[in-house]
Amino acid sequence: MSRKALVIVGLVGLFGWGIYTTHFAADEFPEDLEVSSTTEIQDEVITGLQQGNKAPDFETQTLDGKTIKLSDLQGKKVILNLWATWCPPCKAEMPHMQDFYLEHQNHQVEILAINLTNAEKNTDGIEEFVVDYGLTFPIGLDPKGEIGKLYQAITIPTSYVIDSKGIIRQKIIGPMNKEMMTELVESVE
């Protein structure tokens, strides 16, 4: 068969298929079929570390022996901070964090500072650090490094601003000052 004949057969086939789909195949679908042009979005939110994700939940022991779960803080805005006593930027950040905490603790805002305990020599150094810096916000311990791994705390300090619904709104790598914390927390619900 010549090339011209193949092209003609192909065109006739396409033409025939077009007629079939517009006239005959349309009868296969009911005329009263309703097709929605909108999509309903479920209330489900993905758990993860990206902005807009639900913050992964965890449970930890605090330095004073209490158990705390991140999800227990839902209803409050949270600054989740991952840090260590030997980290110079963490040391610089802590006085700002304490000042922020004192100013905002009665305004549905919580700081949960997770010490990467597995990277510390011992917990005595953590207690000494907390006393020396006069820290009064909750200090969670991460003896196996599970929370640090969960929250990808490769560089410290690493902080997450979490809204009152438990949704991550911001990730900050590096130290923050009080003004930055205030601005970040005021920008979320």
pLDDT in tens, 16-26: 544 444 444 44
- Asked if 161 and 169 touch (Cβ cutoff 8 Å), the reply is yes
Contact 152, 114 (CB under 8 A): no
Among the listed residues 73, 79, 78, 87, the one whose alpha carbon sits nearest the alpha carbon of residue 116 = 87
pTM: 0.76
Residue 36 has pLDDT above 50, yes or no: no
Look at 1 and 113; give whichever has higher pLDDT: 113
Q: Is 170 exposed, middle or buried (0-12, 13-18, 19+ CB in 10 A)?
A: middle
For residue 89 the two structure tokens come to: 């930027």
How does strand 59-61 pair with strand 67-69?
A: antiparallel
Q: How many residues does the chain have?
A: 189
CATH class of this structure's domain 59-186: alpha beta
Q: Is the pLDDT of residue 127 over 50?
A: yes
Q: Count the Cβ atoms, other than its own, within 10 Å of residue 133.
A: 14
Q: Is the peptide bond before 88 cis (omega within 30 degrees of 0)?
A: no
